[in-house]
Structure 1
Amino acid sequence: MLPRMERLSGLDASFLYLETPEQLMHVCALLVLDPATMPGGYSFDKMKERINERVGNVAHFTRKLRKVPLRLDHPVWVDDDHFDIDRHVHRMALPAPGGYDELVELAGHLAGLPMDRNRPLWEMVVIEGYLDDQVVVFSKMHHATVDGVSGSNLISHLCSLEADAPPLVQAEPRTPQRRPGDLELVGRAVVSTLTKPWQAAKLLAPTGQLVTRTVERARRGEAMAAPFTAPRTSFNGTITGHRSVGFADMSLVDVKAIKTATGTTVNDVVLTVAGGALHSYLEERGELPEVSLMATVPVSVRETSVRNGGANKVSALFTKLGTDIADPVERLKMMSEANRKAKEHHQAISADALQDWAEFAAPRTFGLAVRAYAGLRLAERHPVVHNLVISNVPGPPVPLYFNGARIDALYPLGPVFHGAGVNVTVMSHAGDINVGIMACRESMPDPHQLVQYFPAALADLKERTVGA
């Protein structure tokens, strides 16, 4: 018997409904490679052939969307019977001198291009000519197919511990996915619609209890930061489809030394550094608000979720970044305490709460609402929900090889939203922390002006806590 078809979870599908030409919902990354380690030497054709060999049995790379007639329910995944690697892996070269400026300009352009939903939702552009002898892979995957953790796991199909070793994860040969007919899709959609009132009733009681407990926590001063209380900055408004990119490196050893010396966590230190960088950036521009900026921090619930399906297993918490505190040590103390309260508050919320409520996202209504929100520029009219998104994604502790080429750096780049035109994502990698910034170009034309402050903020914090 052929396997059952796989329907997108409500949360996965929501990233499709949230997408507009301006609000693009793909997750990107820049992989800086040393091609000299490739057995037999580097060539684009060899790189493309290896990618093709390794993705062939991985469903996430070879499946595409199938809409339900009349958009009565969330789409389903089906095999792409015409999968062609040439439609997913492309080749480009940087103009001279092939440095940082040329790379981020090209990356920003690529990040601003929407994906073709008629094909599997991923692309890779192999960029040659970076710093003379390096190759960069610009990777793009739609958020409907991955979150931070699952995206890292997918890359494992293309990476190994040695240049000539097999990939970390080898996919088993898989059977074809059953292609459902329109009548079956409509029938399933009708059944799903009829059961939604019962499902909603089941969620109302625990949601009401959660609201009551949250109010009690807020009265005791033990709740996470509240949305709609963030100050407005130049990157909090309606976004366009243009993107800008910046990246930098920090020492994971330094972050851990600060963590040990202060009794905090790696995440506390990273968020403190982010607050320091934003403080410096906004102060230099004469835009520093008197109250702290607030970030949404995605949190993986993969280990605690009881839901089997779906690519995205995430929740989120709100936290203030201490941008109103000039002293980095005082900012770290504040951050540690705020994060402790936010984590306790978050743990009191069901790991599947966001996924459960996302099941009620109506495909047609949700999309119309997003377009109306953007067209009326409502992000500039109501109080700011949050200033930006900051993600901290654990990466490999040892060097990896991407199809034989050693990965020298891996810069993650997350999506931006109306009302929050900047995304900061950090990933640990072989003793470093790679910082990637994606922004709406009109909101932040040159993210390097912000990302350059991350290493400086870390050095300042280290000097004040650990010493030179």
Structure 2
Amino acid sequence: MSMMPVTDSMFLFIETREHPMHVGGLQLFTPPEGAGPDYLREVRHDLLHNSSVRDLFRQRLARPVNTAGYLAWRADPALDLDYHFRHSALPRPGRIRELLELTSRWHSTLLDRHRPLWEVHLVEGLDDGRFAVYSKIHHSVMDGVSALRQLQSTLSDDPDARDCPPPWGIRESQKSRRVPADPRGLLRTLTGTAKQLADTPRAAWKVAMEAFREHTLTLPLEAPKTMLNVPIGGARRFAAQSWPQERVRKVAAAAGVTSNDVVLAMCSGALRDYLIEQRALPPAPLIAMVPVSLRSRAEQREASGNRIGALLCNLGTDKADPADRLTTIARSTADGKRLFKELTPLQTLLLSALNVAPLAATPVPGYVGNTRPPFNLVISNVPGPRKQMYWNGAALDGIYPASVLLDGQALNITLTSNGDNLDFGITGCRRSVPHLQRLLTHLETALAELEDAVG
């Protein structure tokens, strides 16, 4: 049995039927040349009977200690891979539309807490001959960054490689013996943590000065109330599409900003157009929470746990000019990143906790309907593969993340880099965000407007 960090157990504590707390992803593949009609059936059979399982995917929840919830993991003595790894087919005509509808339904259902908290679905029946893999894993086990690292660890840049492990596996070359804990290292960690905690008042003063004297820092509860900030149901909609990275890079270079600023400006323009379409655009600018990885360089390859900070960004949706929106976003992100660099890792974590703390009150009846949201939505950019990747000869065509929603947060936009593309996954509450797929059209319009504005 192993204890879980409080940051991980909280995802179990706050989970309800309306708020599934798992992260997911949809991957599209082109089968290798010469793949026959039984290709996927043979792939599944081989993975079920000839694959190892990473320890992380064997762990299940230990019995709750008390009403506070689950605090520990234990190994599942009889992992049922046939339950976790499922083979499905799309209804005709097998378009991407049918695939996204199926993904929406899978992403809406809770994981079984009596088993290890993950599922993988192998999907055939696409009219263009490709196949898909949808996977989901509980946020208490992995955050989105960790899940993407796990996926990348199973891929190869060699189209002829046939030794790629399954999504729940690990390469033989990556296996290592567990190193016993060093008590002296633990003492050093505790000493360093105590020192950082002692510096917390100084960090709080720095934040206060930024916010109230220089008026540069975006704080929680400054966001306007919108149609996206309402109580949500348990059903989800999921939409996905890819854009060439080169288009984003050219805009960033011409405007003298980062590519991530351009991505945020794409989202800003899309949200503005969508809310105008719904006759629901507020006069004040929308605020996005942008997750920031807090992993050190030594932890960059780690594929487990949660190491995420929270930066708030002014999206400038009150401005009609796309160039003005981009300038506002670039200034807002630069101010936030500068402050993060001046704080210690623990102080950064504490500031991030302050930014998202109001979400803890969302289960209180009437809270969401009668208060301003801490931010309007989450927009996350997760680094992915830098070149074309393959899984046992099948070419990876797309990686589309599906994320978590909460009361008062009915929409999430997460994207990842994938070779020459940026792959967007948009998750929304099925009841609260009508015509979710329209955001894909508005993202293209927003990028085209940015190209014209800086061209």
Tell me the TM-score normalised to structure 1 length: 0.84
2:445 is the alignment partner of 1:444: no
The corresponding residue for 2:374 is 385
Structure 1 residue 137: Cα displacement: 1.0
Q: Which amino acid aligns with 1:315?
A: G
In the other structure, the counterpart of 1:26 is 22
> SS in structure 2 opposite 1:159?
coil
Counterpart in 1 of 2:164? 167
Q: Which moved more, 1:99-108 or 1:388-397?
A: 99-108
Distance 1:79-1:293 versus aligned 2 partners, 3 A rule: same
RMSD over aligned Cα atoms: 3.2
Please list, as runs of the form range in 1=range in 2, the aligned pairs for 1:118-197 lying within 5 A after superposition: 118-165=114-161, 166-167=163-164, 170-171=171-172
Give distance in 2, aligned partners of 1:68 and 1:207.
Answer: 33
Does 2:72 match 1:79?
A: no
Query: What secondary structure sits across from 1:374 in the alignment?
Result: coil
State how far apart, in whole Å, the 2-side matches of 1:382 and 1:146 are: 31
Mapping of residues 390-405 of structure 1, within 5 Å: 390-405=379-394
Deviation by residue 1:59-101 (Cα, 9 ceiling, x = unmatched): 2222222145325786223222111211111122211212132
**CA distance in structure 1 between the aligned counterparts of 2:287 and 2:68, rounded to whole angstroms:** 37
The match for 2:187 is: none
State which of 222, 241, 254 in structure 2 corresponds to 1:248. Answer: 241
Where in structure 1 are there 5+ consecutive unaligned residues? Answer: 177-197, 360-365
Aligned residues: 434
Partner residue in 1 for 2:214: 221
CA–CA separation in structure 1 for the residues paired with 2:143 and 2:199: 26
Change (3 A) 1:352 1:151: farther
3-state DSSP of counterpart to 1:130 = coil
Task: Note if contact 1:250-1:454 (Cα within 8 Å) is conserved in structure 2.
Answer: no
Moved more, 45-54 or 446-455: 45-54
Alignment correspondent of 1:317: 311
Please state whether the residue corresponding to 1:257 is helix, strand or coil: helix
Note closer, same or farther for the CA distance 1:288–1:173 as it changes in structure 2 (3 Å cut): closer
Q: How does 1:59-458 map to 2 (within 5 A)?
A: 59-70=55-66, 75-165=71-161, 166-167=163-164, 170-171=171-172, 205-221=198-214, 223-303=216-296, 311-353=305-347, 373-374=362-363, 376-458=365-447
Alpha-carbon distance between aligned partners in 1 of 2:317 and 2:44, rounded to the nearest angstrom: 45
For 2:336, the aligned partner's letter is: A
Report if aligned partners of 1:246, 1:446 keep a CA contact under 8 Å in 2: no
Following superposition, the deviation at residue 375 of structure 1 comes to: 6.0
Task: For residues 37-57 of structure 1, give each alpha carbon's deviation from its aligned partner in whole angstroms, at most 9, with x where no partner exists.
Answer: 486776333332454478624
* Paired AA for residue 420 in structure 1: Q
Counterparts in 2 of 1:386 and 1:122: CA distance versus 1, 3 Å: same
Cα deviation, residue 235, structure 1: 1.5
AA aligned to 1:427 is T
Q: What letter is aligned with 2:381?
A: N
Q: CA deviation at 1:453?
A: 1.1
* Aligned residue number for residue 185 of structure 1: none
Inter-partner Cα distance in structure 2 for 1:142 and 1:391: 18
Deviates more, 1:437-446 or 1:76-85: 76-85
Classify 1:309/1:262 alpha carbon distance in 2 versus 1 (closer, same or farther; 3 Å): closer
**2-structure distance, mates of 1:354, 1:261:** 32
Deviation for aligned residue 1:438? 0.5
In structure 1, distance between residues paired with 2:401 and 2:53: 25
Cα distance in structure 2, aligned partners of 1:71 and 1:358: 27
CA deviation digits over 1:300-354, x for unaligned, max 9? 0112699999611111111111111111111111111111101112223432357
* SS of match in other structure, 2:199: helix
Alpha-carbon distance, 1:404 to partner = 3.0
Indicate conservation of the 8 Å contact 2:309/2:352, yes or no: no
Provide the C-alpha distance between the structure 1 equivalents of 2:10 and 2:37, rounded to a whole number of angstroms: 43
Secondary structure (helix, strand or coil) at the match of 2:19 reads coil
**Post-superposition shift, 1:33?**
1.2
Distance (Å, rounded) in 1 between the aligned partners of 2:273 and 2:303: 43
Using the alignment, how far apart are the partners of 1:45 and 1:78 within structure 2?
A: 32
Residues 1:465 and 2:454 aligned together: yes
Name the SS for the 2:363 alignment partner.
helix
Asked whether the 8 Å contact 1:247–1:437 carries over to 2, the reply is yes
Distance 1:175 1:69 in 2: 30
Single out whichever of 38-47 and 153-162 deviates more from structure 2: 38-47
- Amino acid corresponding to residue 351 of structure 1 in structure 2: P
Check whether the contact 1:64–1:79 (CA below 8 A) recurs between aligned residues.
Answer: yes
1:352 aligned counterpart, secondary structure: helix
Q: Give identity over the alignment, percent.
A: 31
> TM-score under structure 2 normalisation?
0.86
Judged with a 3 Å threshold, the aligned counterparts in structure 2 of structure 1 residues 389 and 322 are, in CA distance, closer, same or farther, namely same
Structure 2 gap segments, 5+ residues each: 179-190
Distance in 2 between residues matched to 1:84 and 1:284, nearest whole Å: 47
Q: Which moved more, 1:127-136 or 1:54-63?
A: 54-63
8 Å CA contact 2:12, 2:69 repeated in 1: no
Q: In 1, Cα distance between the equivalents of 2:146 and 2:330?
A: 28
> Could you list the per-position Cα deviations for residues 153-196 of structure 1 after superposition, in whole angstroms to 9, with x for gaps in the alignment?
111343121233133961455789xxxxxxxxxxxxxxxxxxxx
